[in-house]
Amino acid sequence: MQDDSIQKINRTLGIYSRLVSGATINKKEEAVRYGVSERSIQRDIEDIRNFLMEPDENGGVINTVVYDRSKNGYLLEQIYDIKFTNPEILAICKILLDSRAFPKNEMDEMLKKMLDCCVPMNNRKLVKSLIANEQFHYIQPKHGKSFMQNMWDIGMAIEEQKLIEFSYQGVRAVKLHKRVVEPAAIMSAGMYFYMVGFIKNIDKQERFDDPDDLNPTIYRIDKIDELTVTDEHFKRPYKDRFQEGEFRKRIQFMFGGKLRKVRFKYKGYSIEAVEDKLPTAKVVGTIKETVRDREQDVFIVEAEVYGDGIEQWFRQQGEMVEVLK
């Protein structure tokens, strides 16, 4: 009797696992698989259905087992509510590949895990096929460094409000600098991840153009070496907490510096592209001007940004942008 009970438990769990993976359960096939009657398989399915129909701790029903006549079997009706859909997983994979933020071996591993865990089994090959070419020709960043553990350690230091120590060589520096920093946020832009923080171990009177500048410094995480999370805590009152969302609106180029207000004419084709790039941008007026031998609307735009990175963007726009202020 005990052996029969164990066999039933193992059989029911096996059927449940395949239902969760997106498989369709056929009673006759399962009866052959486990060497039992179809009636036993039916009872197993009813046990699973009754279990799933019990409300969870939030008072909702997650899934239910239904019979699909077209597939001649049972499946979970709401399985796609707790898994990514094929379009969602395809979009996420494409964004990951386009980021070019990770070494190839890490990128391949992340894509494999996402496909294995999130895509319903019967459509997995299709999604793999749609990303296969881009994955094969993936070009990793030149630094080729694994930095995800550092990023996680920084995240934990932010959560626990601990100072961090590390060596850092910026893009313009000729030697490594030792830094003690109060980490405030992790952000991404372009191909890189950044840590935003407040330096604690330098003389601001000597090193800063403006010693009273309260804005944070920005570090590329892949350039951080010898990272140590110290036991020294920092305290920042809730009212003075770092406003990551507001900072993000004004820091698109990952160059630190003062908050500036810029005003310019935009003579390009898509003002939406400017508004997407500069979330604080506001069109304050339009005028008619001759651009490229034809008259068109020219937008007067104002925006708030941190640092000097905006000037680099202005230069990239060429004749489409005329700086007014």
CB proximity list for 113: less than 8 A, separation 6 or greater: none
Q: Tell me how far the alpha carbon of residue 317 is from its chain's centroid.
A: 28
pLDDT one-digit tens code per residue, 187-208 = 888 788 999 998 886 655 555 5
CB proximity list for 211: less than 8 A, separation 6 or greater: 204, 205
> In this structure, are 232 and 157 located in the same domain?
yes
Q: What residue type is 94 in one-letter code? A: K
What pLDDT does residue 248 have? 66
Nearest to 8 by CA among 38, 28, 29, 36: 36
- Residue 179 located in a structural domain: yes
Residue identified by tokens 């296969």 is 132
On whether the pTM is more than 0.85, the answer is: no
What pLDDT does residue 239 have? 61
- Residue 66 located in a structural domain: yes
- Residue 253 located in a structural domain: no
pLDDT one-digit tens code per residue, 157-196 = 999 999 999 999 876 666 788 999 999 999 888 788 999 9
Q: How confident is the model at residue 101 (pLDDT cuts 50, 70, 90)?
A: very high
C-alpha 197/C-alpha 189 separation (Å) is 16
**Which residues span the domain enclosing 199?**
148-242
Structure tokens at 26: 């056929």
Could you give the number of structural domains in the chain? 4
> In this structure, are 125 and 169 located in the same domain?
no
Count Cβ neighbours within 10 Å for each residue of 165-182 and write b for 16 or more, e otherwise. bbebeeeeeeeeeebbbb
- Residue 247 located in a structural domain: no
pLDDT one-digit tens code per residue, 27-84 = 999 999 999 999 999 999 999 988 887 655 544 445 688 888 888 999 887 655 556 7
